[in-house]
Structure 1
Amino acid sequence: MIILTIEWAYLLYETQWLSLFLVSLIIITLFAPSLFKSKMDLELPAEFHFMAVIFVFASLYLGEVQEFYQRIWWWDIALHTTAGLMMGIVGFLMVYILNESKHVELQMSAAFIALFAFVFAVSIGTIWEIYEFFMDQVFGLNMQKEMFTDPSGLTDTMWDMIVNALGAFVISFTGWMYIRKQRHFFIKSLIQKFIEKNPSWFRR
């Protein structure tokens, strides 16, 4: 947090507005759990917070501010694959928790929960690609990684969407197996911790 604060002050002094905005998003992410707890009476497990901070730091700070996307050829692919996995987890948890909540009289099938998780993750990935296109067109950036062999950035965009969808599919399919056939699901412990920290939200 201290490092980010110093970086924020430096970027403000240097009037690097885009980098300043990205670092500000990271700082907001750090305080997000407090917001959930105070406004929604929800307490996020430490693992959720840790994953979110690491991903935002790797994608925004290392990727954009420190230019890892340009320095390391596989950084963009790795981050978009991870994004698909993480957004798949978020989408799955949103519907699964809603399905189990005592505040909502609604029962959804395993197939619907898995489909929602997949569509949610792919939609977030698509919105991000639109954001990259907008930033490139308006501010003259190179978020779509335009290259000599592909000045349009289309190849980068398509690979980003493909690996994002693959990551989302992995989470959706394994989540479906977990609900439908009680197979092992690697985020089962996260679900259990979330329920334990927020017992008032769930059916007994």
Structure 2
Amino acid sequence: MKGTHPNIIKDILSAQLAKPGGKLSAAICFLLNIFVAAAMLVSVFQGDTRHVLACLKVLILLMIPWLVEWKLKIELSTVFITGVQVFMYAAIILGELDSYYLKYPFWDNMLHTISGFLCAYVGFMLVKLIFGQKIDSKAYINPIYIAVFAFCLSMTISVMWEFYEFGMDSLCNRDMQKDTIIHTIKSVKLNQEEHSLTVLKDVTNVTIDGTNYNLGGYLDIGLYDTMGDLFFNLVGTFVFCTIGYFDIKKD
């Protein structure tokens, strides 16, 4: 019967395989699903409910780009779809479950740079969706406006994500804003009588409630992580928007 789930799945797969690079994209998605399913199976045997739920979430997220494309009747780049799927796997499975954020300091920065690319692409596609083929004509819309819109959208998404991280840390006792060890403190609070700036250099440890933690420096609990995330998202967004601008202008 028309509209049944098997037919929907068949239509989605057929549409993906028919696109340039669709077979490779589908193969990568299939492998990612196998990896996530294997991780979920291990978590089940270990009795780790949180990891099992995280794996289920990833399995759903891997299908979202295909469902969005099918539901909205738009065509997304296979590179974008694969990028989103790999990003989800790298951020949640490798980053959170396998602790890549702690093992590899560059992991978080790399993902935020990639997210800048992906979110900027969404901005370009939204303009395409709203204006249709008119996007290709300078008589209707200037490429610089498209690039600026995509840039602002990507940065707004990045800021909202940082709000989400702060909210989870504040309300749910999480540590999404990873701590940073710093060695210099600049504060007027430490010199209130003169209301001047106090600079402490070569800070090597921190004491909390009488307990001395030999961390090698002062423990910053989120500011540096947040600003670093925004910066790397800015880099990815700017690079993609620049490329997108010249690409549209050329065409």
TM-score bucket (shorter structure): 0.7 to 0.9
Higher helix share: 1
Aligned residue identity for 2:141: M
Tell me if 1:129 matches 2:162. yes
Partners of 1:70 and 1:138 in 2: how far apart?
23
CA RMSD of aligned residues (A): 2.5
Note if contact 2:55-2:93 (Cα within 8 Å) is conserved in structure 1: yes
- TM-score (ref. length: structure 2): 0.63
Larger Rg: 2
What displacement does 1:15 show?
Answer: 4.5
Aligned residue identity for 2:58: I
Identity of aligned residues (%): 30
More deviation, 86-95/24-33? 24-33
Tell me if 1:165 matches 2:198. no
Deviations 1:15-42 (A, max 9, x none): 433x444323321232224423542233
Task: Choose the corresponding residue for 2:151, options 118, 124, 136.
Answer: 118
Tell me if 1:32 matches 2:71. no
What is the 5 A alignment of 1:52-201?
Answer: 52-101=84-133, 107-148=140-181, 149-180=218-249, 182=250
Residues 2 and 41 of structure 1: CA distance in aligned 2, closer, same or farther (over 3 Å): same
Tell me if 1:16 matches 2:13. no
Partners of 1:11 and 1:134 in 2: how far apart?
27
Gaps of 5+ in 1: 184-204
Higher strand share: 2
Note if contact 1:29-1:52 (Cα within 8 Å) is conserved in structure 2: no
Note if contact 1:84-1:121 (Cα within 8 Å) is conserved in structure 2: yes
Note if contact 2:54-2:92 (Cα within 8 Å) is conserved in structure 1: yes
- TM-score (ref. length: structure 1): 0.75
Note if contact 2:43-2:49 (Cα within 8 Å) is conserved in structure 1: yes
SS of the counterpart of 1:144?
A: coil
Residues 21 and 136 of structure 1: CA distance in aligned 2, closer, same or farther (over 3 Å): farther
Note if contact 2:146-2:245 (Cα within 8 Å) is conserved in structure 1: yes
How many residues are treated as equivalent by the alignment? Answer: 178
More deviation, 20-29/7-16? 7-16
Note if contact 2:66-2:81 (Cα within 8 Å) is conserved in structure 1: no
Partners of 2:146 and 2:248 in 1: how far apart?
9
Partners of 1:5 and 1:77 in 2: how far apart?
27
